[in-house]
Structure 1
């Protein structure tokens, strides 16, 4: 029988549309202004914390929509952005720096939809706004780190050249070399002269010392490098977080702006972006007394650090390897079901680790975990003061020579292992940063422009609907139903894709696909009219109209889909947003225009004796 779909095809269309409608529904409920409270490694969020937060809100005369505790995180929903900022500041003062208190926009999706995994589509900064961080870089620490690297480089170079020295130390922004003899002094001067670009040499023959001092140009170059590297690493961290179309850019001499659209877990974003964690691998000092070091008599060339498992450990000052050589890191569990991080080094790092382990088989090597925390104070120049915190998280005896792949243990929890592996993959910041300003930002295009754009889309859509009904009558109504279903499908699919973000160019892609969906129906309906003019019966006209139009529709849509894929592959930012919605729209419009409308037409006119079609 002509024009009758089997039951499974009708059920398929109904199920697909029903699933899309369910996942599109959360977009109707909007979002609440919220404050998210998460613990650092040294704290916990529990019912006591919830009670403290409720007391703080009561003191501020803020009546929250809700305060919920889930998965070691507290989410406070409030009624306005003013209350959001007021509550954030009050909670931060009450809880202190052991907690991460972040602004958020929490979806107001009902629990029954959340239980199905449904969530609203993420909107870009140009449509909805997002979270804005202004970060300040600690340039003093950046200079210290560069000079420490320079000190270690000079020591290594002098050893390789067999030039004897009493000491190579960093003093401020200088590296001071003290030779053992006049001959060594002259040899060191000849070797160093012209070797290190951007450093001037100050000689002191009386003390047999050479001072390597940075030139002003080198200092500026180093500071610019620190900012640019931090920007790059922050971008890597944002990518690891899965944020679509972020903004990470330099502002002024020492600050970086980060804007994150559509972020659901702003507390984790704040923790990861501001974290300065890195690793150093050092040999344990077994030649000197740990007890003497604990009494204040730390031997030259060694440093005393606390052990995470209790007590202290004396380590050699020389660093075997830093986190800068780590190219990949993954968290997991070891054979004893304890958290671990598997690390892969670059070529240079693998060579350094290979040499160090070859020469120290049977000796203990420590993994030193270093992070910087803002004290909340500022120095006389108004710069934020950071406190350097370092602890040994792992000590292992070197059993054999190993190179670019190994693992570290001694980590407290799986969450910490995941965060540490993320930071190591993205890279350690050249210098610590502190978030000095945090706020939610409005749409970058302005709400008025967005409202006007939406009105244009709505009126354009209405005019298309009116034209289709006026020109194709009852078949036009079927096409309009397919257009509405197409929009639901697009929104549903966009909501189901975790990293998808809708921007204004993306909305343009949706409008374009709506027009293409109409084109497909126009082609089909005109072919049906043509078949009727050629004397075919209504049932035959419907059948041949769909069959003959199929190849033309497929050709047009496939070529456009190829263009969308190329745009996504080579484009960035808004271009990718346009390409994603265009590609999704092409696929959904083909489904609704070819299968969807035919299912409806078959249900109404299929398999019946009819003399005339309203097309």
Structure 2
């Protein structure tokens, strides 16, 4: 008998209703987007009358997840950036110097005096007084090395030491360089993402490309320059001891010192020690504020380790100046008046209110581990995005009408049932896209159009099978039942192969290719569901009410 249990019917209807309700916000896209923006504003900046009014334009009891529009549909900025991963090697060697120096000092009787000498970028060179103690010095340095933390570098150490005369050269091992490059890229991706998110942009796409490049797509911004201004600054904040202040830009800073300009005083330079007391990496928070004179400033707070080091330094150097250095410029060089405990302070300078807010965002998001350069940039206007949406909509409508007309003309009433399921299928696709927070691009629209054409294939297989079963004169109920049962294997086989292709596209592709793969994969899932269960429920419900003695397909 042609029967569907009540529980199964309720599950099918529930899934369809849930998917259509999830897709509903996309019908009122502008209204729901205004509602979501208002909620985000209330959460970050507090409630205002305008924000509460905007939040009320969409009922709070309804879902508010939208299908995010990609760069080619909304307009925005596209950037291809390259990360200078080699820069990190020198920073690693600078960080090793105090540890190696202290370890060698414990063997002073054997190696004699130790001093650091100039070396190429990425290397650390140490000169020891007693060449006879070279073997001991090398062993001390090698004992400091640590295992490489990566799958490919298992069994290797992070640094290598070699000797020539009385000079020891220390550098990262090849395995550690590979692991460092990977960590640098991961950190850069996360910091770029945090900076872009801090600015309140909608659903940016930030992806690694190759060994040292990053693709950044930010929908809804006016130009690529806005994104560059936000993420192009490394925001490397350090607190360094001051050696002297000068007006001579050519003054020799001396070994292990650097000469940096003052940000707010033209013609003024500071000679500072190269090794910082604390860095921006130890910051836990930064906020725009005002100083005691009402001028814009930035407050900051260190983590426990940074607070302890900062407190110890200020306690031991009362009366001495120290420099607050941001991106190789001294933005402030105050004199330490007292012990600064608690790990918090304030950065003052010639800031405007927007500049202090932007600096706080950059510091709060963290310092980029290495400099980035932009290889490509382009801006896509919202008018072009609107044209893309219109073209995609027309393509969907034309393709949908053609398929609907073909099915109705070919299969009559059963074709009408298939058309209802096809409309539900498109709604379910948008519902799933909304639930997972997917981004819809122009290739994604192509995937939906392709799904519309493929969605009826399963129904065609079922209907043709039912026509074959009717020839055996077993009756319409038995023919419908056998038609669905015997067509399932062909439907599953045909869609699994396409789904595998979608998975491969998603795994190996990037950007637009992945957008196409997502809509195609979701479309296959919803197509199989609507063909096997939704259409069958419609047909069974109609058959139970009409009880026809014969059916024509």
Distance, in Å, in 2 between the alignment partners of 1:77 and 1:230 is 44
Q: Are the equivalent residues in 1 in contact too, given 2:74–2:385 (CA < 8 A)?
A: no
1:436-515 aligned at under 5 Å gives the runs 441-442=380-381, 447-448=386-387, 450-498=389-437, 500-515=438-453
* Aligned residue in 1 for 2:43: 71
Aligned equivalents of 1:364 and 1:565: distance in 2? Answer: 56
Q: Secondary structure at the match of 1:613?
A: coil
1:137-176 to 2 correspondences below 5 Å? 160=104, 162=111, 164=113
Question: How many angstroms does 1:612 deviate by?
Answer: 2.1
TM-score by length of 1: 0.51
**Separation in 2 of the partners of 1:495 and 1:600?**
26
| TM-score after normalising by structure 2 | 0.56
Whichever structure has more strand as a proportion of its residues is 1
- Is residue 22–residue 492 contact of structure 1 (8 Å, CA) maintained in 2? yes
Match of 1:583 among 514, 521, 543: 521
2:75 corresponds to 1:129: yes
Distance 1:168 1:563, change over 3 A: same
Match of 2:368 among 404, 428, 431: 428
Whether the 8 Å contact between 1:158 and 1:164 is mirrored in structure 2 is no
What CA RMSD, in Å, does the superposition of the two structures yield over aligned residues? 6.3
Quote how far apart the aligned CAs of 1:317 are. 7.5
Q: CA separation in 2, counterparts of 1:150 and 1:543? A: 74
Between the aligned partners of 1:370 and 1:490, the Cα distance in structure 2 is 53
Q: Report if the CA contact (8 A) 1:370-1:390 is conserved.
A: yes
Give structure 2 stretches of 5+ with no counterpart: 132-162, 172-181, 245-254, 258-271, 286-300, 315-321, 347-360
Aligned match of 1:62? none
Q: Which residue of 1 aligns with 2:15?
A: 16
d(CA) in 1 for partners of 2:117, 2:369: 26
By how many angstroms is 1:580 displaced?
A: 1.3
Deviation at 1:554, TM superposition (A): 1.4
Are 1:121 and 1:494, in contact at CA under 8 Å, matched by a contact in 2? yes
Assess, with a 3 A threshold, how the Cα gap between structure 1 residues 135 and 560 changes in structure 2: closer, same or farther: closer
Map Cα deviations across residues 142-196 of structure 1 (whole Å, 9 max, x no partner). 99x99887777778878859474788799xx9x9x99999x9xxxx996569x69
Within the alignment, does 1:526 sit opposite 2:464 as a pair?
yes
Map 1:211-610 to 2 at 5 A.
234-238=188-192, 243=203, 245-246=205-206, 258-261=216-219, 273=231, 276=234, 318=275, 372=326, 388=331, 423=365, 428-431=368-371, 441-442=380-381, 447-448=386-387, 450-498=389-437, 500-606=438-544, 609-610=547-548
- Tell me what 2:354 maps to: none
Structure 1 residues not aligned, in runs of 5+: 39-65, 79-107, 198-227, 250-255, 286-292, 294-299, 303-314, 332-338, 344-352, 374-384, 398-407, 413-418
Kept in 2: contact 1:277–1:420 (CA 8 A): yes
The SS at the match of 1:260 is strand
Q: For the residues of structure 2 that align with 1:68 and 1:233, how far apart are their CA atoms?
A: 26
The counterpart of 1:120, out of the listed 66, 78, 83, is: 66
Find the aligned partners of 2:74 and 2:385 in 1 and give their Cα distance: 9
**Which residue is 1:288 aligned to?**
none
Distance of aligned partners of 1:501 and 1:167 in 2 relative to their CA distance in 1, 3 Å threshold: closer
